[in-house]
Structure 1
Amino acid sequence: MARKSALINAMELSARKAARKMLRDFNEVEHLQVSRKGPADFVSQADLSAEATLREELGRLRPEFGFILEEGGFVESKDGIHYWVVDPLDGTTNFLHGIPHFAISIGVKAGKEVIAGIILDPVKDELFWAEKGVGSFMNDRRLRVSSRTRMADCILATGIPFTGVADHEKFLKELASVMAVSAGVRRFGAAALDLAYVAAGRFDGFWERNLSEWDMAAGIIIAREAGALVSQLDGGEKMLEKGDILATNSGINNAMMDILRKNRLSK
């Protein structure tokens, strides 16, 4: 059985407390107050309530840590090093439409490096977690990426641009290129869970643009500790700063990089 550190236990305790209220809200979603942050970009009372719970609990358990919050912004750390990177509800649009595919995502940064993270799917009661050098797990089961090496056998996940986001035509060309050589592409609407599913071998790879730090932080270390290769779409290491990401098993990484590179160069 996997042994969780005090840091992972602190994140799990906080996430599960927030998840209890979140599930009650999900069952009464038609009564929630909802506002827009931008075109097709929503924030609900469930987001705000979960974030408040997480900030209170995590702040109590590690008062020296700062926060990078989706809704609440940046809170300076007392130790100058550690930050909680929190997405209180990844998959808000799914949540508001009654689609049971969303998660709480919490990462820990030490300087610029993500050193631990959890992603809790409260509907399925699946807790994905990882710590640097320890491995990646789902509940108590060790995770490893898939071993598929032929693109024709692989399922990929992505995020499709919606209204208010540029480069629709560019993405459609890219999508067509991946569809032409793979077993299929999925768009589930929760980037944190997409990365967790790569770690679990459910997806063979995932790519997306225009993400925020809180969308990716926990997923990056969970995927990497399961054996995934994780980078920017051009192979760089500034995923959190630049907002684009590619995560795959080692067997198809070169093929995916080649597809993405050719589409970047095409007009």
Structure 2
Amino acid sequence: MQNKINIPTILDAVRKVGDVFLKDYKQNAIPKAMDEFLKQLEDIDTLCLTSLKEDLSPEFPNIPWHIGDEFDTDSQRNPVEQEEFWLCDAMDGAIQYLQHIAGWTINLALVRDGKPFFSVIYDPLANEMFWAKEGEGAFMNEKLLEINPKTDMAVMLAVFEYGHQDKSDNNLNEKIGATVTKLLSNFGVIRNYGPHGLQLAYIGAGRIDLFVQEDLDTYNWIAGLLIAKEAGAEILTTDGTTWKWGSESLLVAQKSISEKYLQIKSTN
């Protein structure tokens, strides 16, 4: 493994492919049938991965690549059995991109020993590059990030999310509904925005105060988790335990807000 990584090279590669997508944004016909929809998603994956590999493989020739397929629940329970690998979410929020809606990013994480070591989330529409390296802080472009020190829940923005895990034979829909009810009853503003990683980066930037999700969504979380953590957020499950790869839920906020939410969650 390379002890040092060339951060500007990584950021430039992610920016390059993000700007290609930005150039083509709203130029596609919004898909009207499933085969058309799947073909456009496949094209996004292919373009993104090809571009990133071409730009990063010369600098990191021995690091393998993996696409984070959020539709594959089982594969998200454990990291790939390799010391390090690139985990590429070709486009977080691809549905929005295809529908001509804002809220899509290019996400890339370098995973080492089963946890994110470096991650980047690029929002081409806002020209904002969020990135973090383990133990060295989180940044938006060149600005050091720090979570918002709010204490008044009436002015807090909380977001809830859900993924593609099968919810037909468990109580996940009920848990998600109960979560939304708790949030609506206790936080000033509640939203469901779309791109999971970007919302976690927004925790680090102080724009969102709490993120909660009641089902498994590891691939959508990984890049944003490191950014939020390095900015000072707690990374927990909704039961209050420390989050680890394969955890079935996620709670991210500053420590005092996490504690308040867990107290709220425990009441009837």
| 1:13-63 C-alpha deviation (Å, 9 max, x unpaired) | 2211211221133231217784349xxxx8352233112222333333211
Unaligned runs of 5+ in 1: none
Q: How do 1:132-211 and structure 2 match up within 5 A?
A: 132-160=134-162, 165-166=167-168, 167-211=172-216
Distance 1:161 1:218, change over 3 A: closer
User: Structure 1 201/76 Cα, relative in aligned 2: closer, same or farther at 3 Å?
Assistant: closer
Deviations 1:97-147 (A, max 9, x none): 111111111111111121211110011110001111211110011111010
* 1:255 corresponds to 2:254: no
> Counterparts of 2:36 and 2:21 in 1: how far apart (Å)?
14
CA distance 1:58–1:165, change in 2 (3 Å)? farther
227, 233, 237: which one pairs with 2:242? 237
Q: Provide the rounded CA distance (Å) in 1 between the counterparts of 2:69 and 2:59.
A: 21
Deviations 1:185-221 (A, max 9, x none): 1111000011000000000110113343331111111
CA contact (8 A) 1:160 1:187 kept: no
Q: Which residue of 1 aligns with 2:64?
A: 66
> Offset at 1:162?
7.7
Q: What's the % identity of the aligned pairs?
A: 24
The equivalent of 1:17 in structure 2 is 16
Matches within 5 A, 1:214-233: 214-233=219-238
Q: Which runs of 5+ in 2 are unaligned?
A: none
Q: CA deviation at 1:168?
A: 2.4
The answer (yes or no) to whether the contact 1:84–1:107 under 8 Å persists in 2 is: yes
Native 8 Å contact 1:234 1:261 kept in 2: no
Give TM-score, length-normalised by structure 1.
0.84
Match of 1:104 among 106, 121, 127: 106
Greater fraction of residues in strand:
1
Partner of 2:86: 84
The CA RMSD over aligned residues, in Å, is 2.9
Counting matched residue pairs gives 253
2:111 aligned with 1:113, yes or no?
Answer: no
